[in-house]
Amino acid sequence: MTENQTRDLLVELAASLFARGFSVGSAGNISARLPDGGYLITPTNSSLGRLDPARLSRLDPDFRHVTGDPPSKEVVMHRAFYRARADSGAVVHLHSTQATAVACLPDVDHDNPIPPLTPYFVMRVGRRMPIVRYFRPGDAAMEPAIHGAAIDARAVLLANHGPVVSGKTLTDAVYAAEELEEAAKLYLMLRHASPRLLTAGQVDELLNAFG
């Protein structure tokens, strides 16, 4: 995909997320790796609903701002994923309501708060999605914590803040962020019941087939 195609796709996917309530106000940020090793990231304080492809922030391969509007304050959050997971082509950070609600619950398993309820959550997000402790938005100190967690997780929940999800492509990362939000919703509906979970064997089968 060319840089201009990536710009257009990022704007289209961001607008779709915004239109469906996955992001409100100026919350959330999205980045994508470019063919030359640089990155596009949404500008700080921009609405995912009204991005301009020509004004996206362009970063060099060392994540320095080169052109476009000033980048998201969360560049280090995205960098942590690209550096921890060499196969990442895109990263999506949202404050989507249900995933953020799970990230506010103290009494969940912080190593893996959302159990394997449905196949598409496992296929898109993987076996494990830990909670990373709270940091102020934009705090550079979050980078090592996210990097450590992302080595064996495609997505994390930032405590009291929201999800960060990586994918091989922009479309993959957005699909995973959407599945995560739905899984969080199911988990919140069912956590005081005793839902049937996918078995370890069923999770392995999914990851072997689609992981």
Structure tokens that stand for 200 in this block: 């370890």
What CA–CA distances, in Å, run from 99 to 46, 105, 136, 155? 22, 10, 18, 11
Rounded to the nearest whole angstrom, what is the least distance from the CB of residue 43 to ligand 13P in the complex? 7
Count interface residues toward ligand 13P (CB under 6 A).
12
Segment 61-80, which members bind ligand 13P (CB under 6 A)?
72-74
Rounded to the nearest whole angstrom, what is the least distance from the CB of residue 193 to ligand 13P in the complex? 32
The reply to whether 74 belongs to the active site is: yes
Q: Which alpha helices (DSSP H) does the chain contain, by range?
A: 3-19, 75-84, 97-102, 119-125, 142-150, 170-190, 200-210
The reply to whether 120 belongs to the active site is: yes
**Residue nearer to ligand 13P on the CB measure, 15 or 186:** 15
Give the torsion sign (CA, 116, 137, 48, 98): positive
30 belongs to the binding site for ligand 13P (CB under 6 A): no
**Residue nearer to ligand 13P on the CB measure, 164 or 183:** 164
Structure tokens that stand for 98 in this block: 């249900």
Rounded to the nearest whole angstrom, what is the least distance from the CB of residue 58 to ligand 13P in the complex? 15
Strand 155-158 and strand 131-132: the pairing is parallel
Adjacent-strand bridge partners of 166: 91
44 belongs to the binding site for ligand 13P (CB under 6 A): yes
**Residue nearer to ligand 13P on the CB measure, 24 or 198:** 24
Instruction: Indicate which residues carry an active-site annotation.
Output: 74, 120
List interacting residues with ligand 13P (CB under 6 A): 26-29, 42, 44-45, 72-74, 93, 137
